Structure 1
Amino acid sequence: KAYYKWRIDETYIKIKGKWSYLYRAIDAEGHTLDIWLRKQRDNHSAYAFIKRLIKQFGKPQKVITDQAPSTKVAMAKVIKAFKLKPDCHCTSKYLNNLIEQDHRHIKVRKTRYQSINTAKNTLKGIECIYALYKKNRRSLQIYGFSPCHEISIMLAS
């Protein structure tokens, strides 16, 4: 199953003139599993994000990340805490190209966000719209990040 192979990466965006970090996870087919906006880029944030993914989707067979030190430390903690196979974590600059290219629709926007809540809601909206373009996205019920559900929440508020 595609959702047992994850690609995790973080990118940065500016909110009120300060850098914030957007953690994103996609599966082997390129579908967004989850996004999480944090003020810091450290091993605690990365660990909390990966732990959140495991609670939502179960243990992955393979996790591909970039070579960021914070992610390496977080994955070492996750492997120990959740008793994953030691070889389930792979760090590669080139294997993570799929998620790096997936960041482009967020990075293209030169919007300056005035608050973390505005940024979070806007980024969720962008993710929802792009998720609708991805193949078979509406019919998949296994994912926690459902674009149709997110859009209905945004329209209700």
Structure 2
Amino acid sequence: MGTKSPSYKGHRYPVEAISHCVWLYFRFPLSFREVEELMLQRGVTVSHETVRRWCTKFGQTYAHARRRCRPRPGDKWHLDEVFIKTNGEQKYLWRAVDQDGNILDLLVQNRRDTTAAGRFFRMLLRKTRRVPRVVVTDKLRSYGAAHREVMPCVEHRAHKGLNNRAENSHQPTSQRERAMKGFRSVGAAQRFLSAFSGISPHFRPRRHRMTAHHYRAEMTVRFEIREQITGLTGLSTTA
């Protein structure tokens, strides 16, 4: 895979414990205290504050490594925005997925006007380093104005019924937001959701389209990729 393992220098807990805590927190709607309890049941005594620091430090690292080894994004992008709560205030989560449902990126912003839409378009072009063939959005007028300004040569389809793929991709985030009772700030929301969108979908294959045997085989492969990203594979090789 060619992915460099993260450095765990200075941490007294083994890599297995650290990576498992981060996986639990970003994969399931658990609090830091609930992760602490699950680890205690496994015989590992670790405080919820330590789990929080691990998730803050390694969550983004694991997510970035996963994104680097994902396939190239498709040429049809679906964009959508939803309300989220940060410190009791209403903000907007912008998200883009390709035609296969792979998350391209997301951005938390204060508004959903033309400036915000244009900023999101430019971020997608910069990070993906690709220009799409088609952009699909709902009928929010800000998308049309930003599209004409940023990528006028790209086909734009504005139709609510065509954008179900992007709308459906918000469901795991909404579930997690309810469990967390909102976010403390825009920055905290951006950091968490950036790591969450890089880790959680990796363990959410489209199970309804798979046989039980196919699903188990697919998850085995995905867990092997996780071990390579977190450095567990290299650890077991040298042990």
Pairing partner for 2:135 from 63, 67, 83: 63
Structure 1 residues without counterparts, runs of 5 or longer: 140-147, 153-157
- Which has the greater radius of gyration? 2
**CA deviation digits over 1:65-89, x for unaligned, max 9?**
0100111211121234xxx14xx10
Give matches, 1:100-111, under 5 Å.
100-108=167-175, 109-110=177-178, 111=181
- Identify the residue that residue 114 of structure 1 maps to in structure 2: 184
Give matches, 1:72-83, under 5 Å.
72-80=144-152
TM-score (norm 2): 0.52
The offset of 1:134, in angstroms, is: 4.8
- Please say if residues 31 and 134 of structure 1, whose CA atoms lie closer than 8 Å, have aligned partners that are also in contact: no
Q: Any idea what SS the aligned residue of 1:3 has?
A: coil
AA at the equivalent of 1:119: A
**CA deviation digits over 1:49-102, x for unaligned, max 9?**
11121223321100000100111211121234xxx14xx100111110011111
Q: For residues 204 and 85 of structure 2, what CA distance do their matches in structure 1 show?
A: 27
Q: How many positions carry a matched residue from both structures?
A: 135
Q: Which has the higher helix share?
A: 2
- Identify the residue that residue 94 of structure 2 maps to in structure 1: 23
AA at the equivalent of 1:123: L
Moved over 3 A (4+): none
AA at the equivalent of 1:79: M
Q: For residues 124 and 52 of structure 1, what CA distance do their matches in structure 2 show?
A: 14
- Identify the residue that residue 25 of structure 2 maps to in structure 1: none
Structure 2 residues without counterparts, runs of 5 or longer: 1-71, 206-217, 231-239
Q: For residues 93 and 106 of structure 1, what CA distance do their matches in structure 2 show?
A: 20
- Identify the residue that residue 162 of structure 2 maps to in structure 1: 95
- Identify the residue that residue 35 of structure 1 maps to in structure 2: 106
**Amino-acid identity (%):** 29
- Identify the residue that residue 143 of structure 1 maps to in structure 2: none
Q: Which has the higher strand share?
A: 1
Root-mean-square deviation (CA, aligned residues, Å) is 2.2
